[in-house]
Structure 1
Amino acid sequence: MSFDPAFNPESLLRELFSTAIDAAHPRQVLADHLPADRTGRVIVIGAGKAAAAMAEVIEREWQGEISGLVVTRYGHGANCQKIEVVEAAHPVPDAAGLAVAQRVLKLVSGLTEADRVIFLLSGGGSALLALPAAGLSLADKQGINKALLKSGASISEMNCVRKHLSAIKGGRLAKACWPASIYTYAISDVPGDEPTVIASGPSVADPSTSAEALAILTRYGIEVPPAVLARLHDPRAETVKHADPCLARSHFELIATPQQSLDAAAAKVRAAGLTPLILGDLEGEAREVAKVHAGIIRQIVLHGQPIKPPCVILSGGETTVTVRGKGRGGRNAEFLLSLTESLKGLPGVYALAGDTDGIDGSEDNAGALMRPDSHARAAALGLSATAELDNNNGYGYFAALNDLIVTGPTRTNVNDFRAILILEPTK
């Protein structure tokens, strides 16, 4: 349809967010990837924020005998009949995640060549399927996890460390399943869609090393407990590499990616009569990524480059936040707070940033909305975007404006989604 200047910008942005989530939901994407022959016995295991929704699809589509166990984040469960669903903590693992990881390993131990395992994998699986390596405690893993989350380390860096402190990640789950065949169906939440990074790659070969993991901890100034240090210096603790024969029966398939969600949102933008600009998967500090977006926005507004308004900038990926303040945050709220400060009420610019799993960091919102008047409305309430950014208080800032986006758990996860609407200047 043609572009109607009287349309509701907020409604469009919310619709784009819903479209991105729907394009990555297991009910839309998993069934088409399952084998044509869906008879016979299969053991189903899984981990991640989409694990329960994926298990529902398996129960609906599989015609043979099914048993199994999946773990998802608290609040992201489902009422499955044949596959047990357990909930555990994310992003910092807890005892429930430890217990279910032990049960998963026991479930796939002692299998034969005739056995088939379906592994349902999605973002969040790294923390949810938490089994410390020999000599390490859950407290060791929790401490390292918390420090990494506050450090500003990227998801690939965090998962490199996690793999080398785990008894199940970095290909070790595939090793436990051997000689059975294991079929991994994965929803990617990482830039580049690298199988070894998604939930720390439990069923694929890992090219990283313990030395690299130690270097990451050193780079971010993270205090390393003696047991962790000993683990990373032990050559016997290396992850599973490409030449390992246990991977010969391990099969990996991506069923949803961040790009698919961006493409679906772009199609919706075109249908609304606007021009989309996809920037792709982005990494980096949320506040710095926002400044880059602000620069692109100004170029579009002032010079019509690289596209002319009305248009929508779309991007995904996973930004990071180096926590220095004591406010309530989340990387999407932090992105929008930085964008608000950078643009200072530039006319005709609306933005939404949200996490496709429905949870921005560890808060109860998916993200937030920025409007052209956000900066002025906040100032009228005595709120300084700069001061709130210094305190990592994006949640508090947008809560005061009543502009938080609350969806509840979506039961999928292709990470961050950002949509910035730029309208034509009024004459």
Structure 2
Amino acid sequence: MKNQERLNLITDSLSAALQSFCQFESLQKHLGKLPRGQARALLAIGKDAGRMMDVALKIVSPTAGMALCLTKYGYYQPQDERVTCFEAGHPVPDENTIKHSRTIIEWLQAMPRDMELIVLLSGGGSALFEAPKAPHTLADVIRLNKELLAKGLDIKEMNKVRATFSEVKAGAAAKHFKGKNIRVYALSDVENDDPRVISSGPFTRADVEFHVIGNNFSFRQLLKTALEELGLDVVNMQAFESGDAATLISKIRQLFADNAHNPNCPIILSGGEVPIQVTGNGKGGRCTHLALSMAPVLAQYKDALFVAYATDGSDNLSDVAGAWVDAATVNKLNAKGLDIDAALRNSDSYTALNAIGQALKTGEFHANINDVYIISPCS
């Protein structure tokens, strides 16, 4: 099978798996088991808040005025008149972040004593839901987020620092709630699905019921099924990759070496989120950086293909989901006079790979469940 044909099968399968994932079957099952007759409020926060809200509304009938959504600009236009949707900045908070977060705090504080709160969390919630503690200001929060993003810290470390500035993180949002009880249903974009880390844990409290309804691994399982239905042999790695880029590159390099002559020639799925420290002023993201870093490795294997894909369709740049490389990538770059090491040093991986048509542009999808790495050692 030629690499372009294989790439098309992979990208089509990614799209099919994302569509399936965003039906949120686990969420539907959980909400369908809730007892009838209870007054309920719905609060959805994150980049996939809109889709989660729409699924919940098919099963839960919120009390009038009790369905709020906070998401990224342009991500959700509710068709249900019961929903009030707020929009704010991501990945860096803005004035609307603070304004709408304080509105949600006041809403929680005014909740009737008999009200049950259903919270729907998805990736991006930590930046979108924020109200700084005095004497901190919006400017302090913006500066902090930009510094954390530039340092290349993992999400756990970022959220730990963010919580020290916040009136809503690390369980603080739950303290504002005056109703009966809280149930949280979350899409996890963090290692080990830690409730204290997902969206910086705004509703983590001992008496809060917490359910993870999807994560990077469960998405990869759907991708595995989609590829297997095309007759491909697929292995889905259990681990969530985090830490530093050099370690991940070494692991992927070894997977190519170990499987290049495997008679079964499986496609190997891995995933996680490995931050990249910004060292220049070019254009790129985690996935384009990783793909470009792998290009010299794939030059050794004539039939190899590697794809790095951000599940929200936005690899730092809004119209770029990631990139792919194969054995011919290095020669293509050389022919264009593009130096891999220079591009990586300048954090300019997108520019290099886009110049040879190997950036993936699938459109933003909002399903923020980290990145997927697709290792195909041979045709």
Normalised to the residue count of structure 2, the TM-score between the two structures is: 0.92
Q: Is the Cα contact below 8 Å between 2:77 and 2:85 reproduced in 1?
A: yes
Q: Tell me, in whole angstroms, the C-alpha distance in 2 between the residues paired with 1:51 and 1:351.
A: 31
Aligned to 2:47: 49
Q: Distance in 2 between matches of 1:354 and 1:9?
A: 15
The yes-or-no answer on 1:272 pairing with 2:223 is: no
SS in 1 for 2:274: strand
Question: CA-to-partner distance for each residue in 1:292-317, whole Å, 9 max, x for gaps?
Answer: 20122022115x3xxx4421111111
Secondary structure of the structure 1 residue equivalent to 2:119:
strand
The answer (yes or no) to whether the contact 1:53–1:412 under 8 Å persists in 2 is no
Which of residues 230, 238, 254 in structure 1 aligns to 2:212? 254
**Does the 8 Å contact 2:44/2:70 carry over to 1?**
yes
State the alpha-carbon separation in 2 of the partners of residues 267 and 283 from structure 1.
24
Q: Does 1:294 align with 2:293?
A: no
2:74 aligns with 75
Aligned to 1:376: 331
1:412 aligns with 2:371: no
C-alpha separation in 2, matches of 1:128 and 1:64: 23
C-alpha distance in 1 between matches for 2:317 and 2:92: 10
Where does residue 119 of structure 1 map in the other structure?
Answer: 119
- Go from structure 1 to structure 2 and tell me whether the alpha carbon gap of 1:5 and 1:145 turns closer, same or farther (over 3 Å shift): closer
Amino acid at match of 2:136: L
* In structure 2, C-alpha distance between the alignment counterparts of 1:200 and 1:330, rounded to whole Å: 22
Asked if 1:281 corresponds to 2:236, the answer is no
* Secondary structure of 2:92 counterpart: coil
Residue type of the alignment partner of 1:68:
A
In the aligned structure 2, how far is the partner of 1:7 from the partner of 1:271?
A: 19
- Cα separation, 2, equivalents of 1:290 and 1:25: 30
Count of residues paired in the alignment? 375
RMSD: 2.1
Per-residue CA deviation, residues 324-365 of structure 1 (Å, 9 max, x unaligned), is: 111101101111011113333521111211111111124421
Once residues 374 and 27 of structure 2 are traced to their aligned partners in structure 1, the CA distance between those partners, rounded to angstroms, is: 26
Q: Would the alpha carbon gap of residues 180 and 9 (structure 1) be closer, same or farther in structure 2, given more than 3 Å must change? A: same
CA distance in structure 1 between the aligned counterparts of 2:3 and 2:169, rounded to whole angstroms: 52
Question: In 2, distance between residues paired with 1:365 and 1:113?
Answer: 46
Contact 2:17 2:226 in 1 (8 A): no
Q: Which has the higher contact order (CA 8 A, sep 6+)?
A: 1
Instruction: Tell me whether 1:58 sits opposite 2:63 in the alignment.
Output: no
Distance 1:131 1:345 in 2: 51
* Structure 2 counterpart SS, 1:173: helix
Which stretches in structure 2 are left out of the alignment for 5+ residues?
Answer: none
* SS of structure 1 residue aligned to 2:243: strand
- The alignment status of 1:203 with 2:203, answered yes or no, reads yes
**Where do 5+ consecutive residues of structure 1 fail to align?**
206-246
Q: Does structure 1 conserve the Cα–Cα contact (< 8 Å) formed by 2:288 and 2:323?
A: yes
- Which residue of 299, 302, 311 corresponds with 1:347? 302
- 1:179–1:27: structure 2 CA closer, same or farther, 3 Å change rule? closer
TM-score (norm 1): 0.82
2:170 counterpart residue number: 170
